[in-house]
Amino acid sequence: MCMCANVQENLPCLQPGSRFYQVAHTGLDSIMQQFIMSVSAMANNKSMTPEGLQDDHFQFVYNIGSKDLLDGTIQIEEAHYQTIIDLFHRILVLHVVLFLVLWIVFAGFLILLLNPLLRRISKERRRIAELMSQLPLELDVERLVARALGTLMVAGAPGLPGVLGGGGTLSAGQQTIEIPGEADDISGKGDATSKWKAIIRSASSGLNLSKSRPSFTSGASGSVKKGG
């Protein structure tokens, strides 16, 4: 393929009978090497008689170097630029696709994972509210919740209001209930509903027990006075 084929002003290309036809049709690298050799030969000429316009090196530099070599260099520059533009275009398309995939994944996360989780949390809130509404007003609800969550401190630890032996004080009408030991292992067994039901049952039994103790004490003290 002739290197000057794409440049209108340098047509026609060299014909097969030209002395530079083989060099011009073997590629731009061969033309560049021959061009450097011709320029070096002209620069290193030490003859006292200057070479004329018919010199082979001068003819190659003028006819091939200024036309085929220049046009081939322009072709390479355009091909290189187009390759870079195509690469950046593919990268841009890839980024757009990844951005869309990111939004699709985010939407799937919201629809398939987050929304069901929020609905489940809302149901659990309603269920806990219903269970807590069944508790007597005398119960220490915060302590029951702490026990259900497994974060209740040991009875008698300082600084925990509402716990027997703690540093806090009880307000009027508030009573601390010791939940039987069978409720200690409730956390981690069964679902949340079973835990809360077991806590409510144990707390209710503890409350009834605490209510029966004052009546027994008052009855016993009265009988002692009568006997005296």
Q: If pLDDT is split at 50, 70 and 90, which confidence band does 93 have?
A: very high
Predicted TM-score (pTM) of this structure? 0.46
Question: Token pair 């029966």 is at which residue?
Answer: 212
pLDDT digits (tens, 9 = 90+) for 133-176: 887 777 777 787 777 777 544 444 444 444 433 444 444 344 44
User: According to the model, what pLDDT value does residue 43 have?
Assistant: 86
SS3 131: helix
Using alpha carbons, select from 48, 196, 44 the residue that is nearest to residue 125: 196
**What is the greatest pairwise CA distance in the chain?**
156
pLDDT digits (tens, 9 = 90+) for 189-203: 456 667 767 777 777
Q: If pLDDT is split at 50, 70 and 90, which confidence band does 7 have?
A: low
What is the rounded distance in angstroms from the CA atom of residue 60 to the CA atom of residue 129? 97
Residue 213 has pLDDT above 90, yes or no: no
- For 133, other C-beta atoms within 10 Å of its C-beta total 7
Average confidence score pLDDT of the chain? 73
Amino acid sitting at position 227 = G
User: According to the model, what pLDDT value does residue 10 have?
Assistant: 64
